[in-house]
Amino acid sequence: MNIDIGKFVNLSQKIPVAVLGATGAVGQRFVQLLADHPWFEVVALTGSERSVGKTYGETRWVLDGDPPAAARQMTISRSTPNLPAKLVFSALPTHHAKEIEPSFAAAGYAVCSNASAYRQSLGVPLIIPEVNGDHLRLIEGQRSAQGWPGLIVTSPNCTTTGLAMTLKPLDDAFGVRQVIVTTMQAVSGAGYPGVSYLDIDGNVIPYISGEEEKIENESRILLGHIENGERHAADFRVSAQANRVPVFDGHTLSIAASFMRKPTPEEAARVLAEFPGLDLPSAPRHPVLVRSEADRPQPRRDRSAAEGMAVTVGRIRACPILDLRMVSVVHNTLRGAASGSILNAELLVAEGYL
C-alpha cells in the first residue's frame, strides 16, 4: 500500500478540522499535535457544557508546556454537528461518543475517533494504517447500512496498538497461533486526573478495567481480513494480563507467542525491522524498530522513537514453552491515541474518502 500523496491531496488548501472533547487529556494532545499539521487546520474545538463559551486558553491545560498560541484564542463550542469542519477528531468519553459520533456521521462529517464506542459495531473500521488500512473498505457498507453521508473510523486501544503492530509482520510471515501477553501500562493511559498518586506511587496495580478484553478482541480484529464486505477476526488466541505501573507515558508489553511456522529470533527480528511504512505525513519510515541491546526497549527511553509513532521491539529470543518471547514499547498517547487517529485521517484523505 504505497500511497502517492501527490495523487490525492491538493496541498494548496488545508482541510478544516474540529476536535470534539478538546479539553480532556486526549483532546489536548490532538490540539497540540494538529498545531502544525501540513494537511489539517483546526477551526473548532468542542467541550462539555461547563466550558462552552470560554476561550480554550481559559481551560486548564494538563499537558506539559502550554497550549498552541492559535488554539488559545478559540472559543469552545458544543459538540453538535454544525461546525465549519469536514473532518472531526473525537476525544469524547465513550458514553458521549456513543451518541455524538453518529450524529456527526449522519450530518456528513468524517469522524476519526479515539473512543471505544464503535470499535466493534455499526460497520466501523478499526484501523492502524500500516496493519489493516484495507479495512477502510468497510466504509462503503457502513454508509449504506447507516444511511450516512459521512463516516466513522476508529483507532484501537493503546495497548492493542502496540501488540498488533508487533504481531502483524510476524503473522504475515509465520502465522500467529497463541499470544500470552503481560502489560506494564503508563498512568497517562487512564486520562486526567486518572490515577491517584497514593494508589500508584511505588506500586503495581495488576488490573485495568476492560483492558484485557480489549486486547484480546481488538488484536484479532486488527489482524483479521475483509471478505465480501464483512470483517472476519483472525483466529489466534490471546491471553492478556494488564498492569498499571508508575510510568508517565509508554506502555510495555512482555509477549510470548507461538506460530504456525516457528521462526528463529533472527528471522523474527528481520521481519519486524522490514515491516514497511507508509508515505503519509505522520507515518514513520519504519513502524517497528528492533533493538538488540539486552535492556531495551524501555518506555522512557524508547516511547518517543519516530515522534512516538514507532513501536520498539527487543529481547527477541526463543521461549522454552511457546516459540518466541519479546518485549514491545508503544507510546500510548501518541501512536496509541491522538497521533494514531491523525494517521487514520491522513489515510482517509490519501484514499480519497474526504
By beta-carbon proximity to its own copies, the closer residue of 78 and 262 is 262
Q: Residues with Cβ < 8 Å from 30, sequence gap 6 or more?
A: 19, 22, 89, 91, 338, 341, 342
Residue 239 beta carbon to its own copies: minimum distance, rounded to whole angstroms: 5
Which positions lie near its own copies, rule CB under 8 A? Answer: 25, 62, 64-65, 178-180, 182, 184, 187-188, 192-207, 209, 216, 237-239, 241, 243, 245-248, 252, 254, 256, 294-302, 304-305, 314-315, 319-322, 325, 327
d(CA 273, CA 22): 35
Catalytic choice (135, 251, 286, 331): 251
Catalytic choice (158, 232, 286, 319): 158
By beta-carbon proximity to its own copies, the closer residue of 153 and 180 is 180
Residue 256 beta carbon to its own copies: minimum distance, rounded to whole angstroms: 5
Q: What are phi and psi of 160, to 5 degrees?
A: -60, -35
CA quadruple 136, 142, 148, 151: dihedral sign: negative
Q: How many residues does the chain have?
A: 354
Q: Which three-class secondary structure state does DSSP give residue 165?
A: helix
Residue 350 beta carbon to its own copies: minimum distance, rounded to whole angstroms: 29
Residues 318/266, Cβ–Cβ less than 8 Å: no
Q: Is 74 exposed, middle or buried (0-12, 13-18, 19+ CB in 10 A)?
A: buried
Q: Is 114 exposed, middle or buried (0-12, 13-18, 19+ CB in 10 A)?
A: buried
d(CA 143, CA 121): 13
Residue 198 beta carbon to its own copies: minimum distance, rounded to whole angstroms: 6
By beta-carbon proximity to its own copies, the closer residue of 136 and 245 is 245
By beta-carbon proximity to its own copies, the closer residue of 65 and 147 is 65
Active site residue 112: no
Q: Which three-class secondary structure state does DSSP give residue 26?
A: helix
Q: In what order do the strands lie in the sheet with 176-185?
A: 237-244, 176-185, 251-259, 324-330, 311-318, 288-290
Residues 101/90, Cβ–Cβ less than 8 Å: yes
d(CA 225, CA 94): 26
Q: Grid cell 483479521 — which residue?
A: 224
Active site residue 158: yes
Residue 195 beta carbon to its own copies: minimum distance, rounded to whole angstroms: 5
By beta-carbon proximity to its own copies, the closer residue of 216 and 267 is 216
Residue 184 beta carbon to its own copies: minimum distance, rounded to whole angstroms: 5
Question: Is beta strand 40-46 parallel, antiparallel or unpaired with respect to 76-77?
Answer: parallel
Residues 44/77, Cβ–Cβ less than 8 Å: yes
The catalytic residues are: 158, 251
